[in-house]
Structure 1
Amino acid sequence: MTGSIEQGISQTHGNTHLLHFLVRLPRPMEKVWPALSTPDGLAGWFTAADELQPRLGGAVTLRGLGSGRITAWDVDRIAEYTLQDGGRLRFHLERDGESACVLRFTHEFRGEQESEAGWRARFERLIEQLAGS
């Protein structure tokens, strides 16, 4: 199975923007989890995590995005990073058979710093990285 970006939805509520993606990944959840929850994994496809304390309430600093706290943490399933500027990134993994999984992603932010195209490019890098592992 190859990965695919099946859905990208952009919504605006006042000055808050929400991007939602459904991404099918060619590896089981246990293999994908480190790409979403470790500094090395995030740096490989998204951005450097200068600080990441892997637990609920732990500190996180994502280069170019800012610092904040881990506001949801369910090992092998959910990582949510809430930044001081009010931005929020949520990665939610679900099984898709024995050898694949689905990533349900939400990015909530204010301003115009992110785009659907930017996240599509990041998820393409993630799919390529996982396909090579």
Structure 2
Amino acid sequence: MEMEDGALGFVCIEGSSLYLWSRKVSSEAAAEWVKCRVIKLEGLIHVADQDGDEALVVGSAEGVGVIFVTTGSGLFTLELKSGRVRKVDEPEVYFSILPYMSFYTPGTVLVLIAQLLTAPFILHWFS
């Protein structure tokens, strides 16, 4: 995932905490992973159930700072800036979440208009 500063980052859960790590490059061009933030999940999300199912990070929404976490209680979103948690689905088996952010394809409207204006029936109609 991309961090707020544009650096490469990743998120993991260990115990009842969510850890955010960022890739930092030093002046000598050496890179290392630096722990940026720790979010305590206890009280926000039910982390483990009686069956031993633990919370897992199953996806993120690039550019908006949202992490998807699955537990034995359901699928949740966690907004990194506000700390807001929302349950978005019931308990299921989730391996990976790939949210659709937009369905707009840049340039298609102009291409469509250009194609319509150069179509033979349009040219005939205007002449």
TM-score by length of 2: 0.27
Bigger radius of gyration? 2
TM-score by length of 1: 0.26
Q: Which has the higher contact order (CA 8 A, sep 6+)?
A: 1
- Structure number with higher strand proportion: 1
- Structure number with higher helix proportion: 1
